[in-house]
Amino acid sequence: MALSRGLRCCQRVLSWVPVLIIALVVLWSYYAYVWELCLVTVTYPLEKVIYLIIFHAVFLIFIWTYWKAVFTPPKQPSKKFLLSYAEKERYDNEESPDAQKQILAEFARKLPVYTRTGSGGQYIPFHLWVLEEMFPFPDPTTVFTVPRNLHRLVLSKRNITTVRSPDAVSHLQV
């Protein structure tokens, strides 16, 4: 009991070491920029004021976000994102990685997480459309918006059709 309490105390103390190092670097950079550059090196008063205003605006935003990152407690995911006891047992009892992957894919399809394009379609980044072979999309003819001059990408079960313009269509076998 005493050992675990001592370890927790050491963990709490050591977890603040990176925060203190970053705080020291920020204080040193504040001194270097404000005192050494702006107040000592720069000679024109208007230039000093402009440098100081811009620096302090960015500095205050940084301090506020850093404060929020350090002192906001971590959140636990919602229960709907956790495997139920039965699904976890089914996953643990499954021997083959393919069957485990299938269990996770079935669970993931039920999750309410969607990335949408500006027009409301489901967005799949260009470098992720290869995953269609591993985790087939629910609707095999869904149109997705993709970057890099591909106007749309039509995914089907065994081939991927990229449409660059209404006239040019190329088929890629997966």
Residue 36: partners with Cβ closer than 8 Å, 6 or more residues away: none
Q: Which amino acid is at 26?
A: V
List the end-to-end C-alpha distance of the chain, in Å, as a whole number.
57
Instruction: Count H helices and E strands in the chain, helices first.
Output: 5, 4
Name the phi and psi angles at 167, rounded to 5: -90, -30
Window from 57-61, 62-66, 103-107 with minimum mean pLDDT: 103-107
- pLDDT tens for each residue of 71-126: 998 888 888 888 888 888 998 998 888 888 888 888 877 777 666 666 766 666 65
Q: Where are the domains of the chain?
A: 2-71, 79-112, 114-174
Is the pTM higher than 0.75? The answer reads no
Cβ atoms of 150 and 126 within 8 Å: the answer is yes
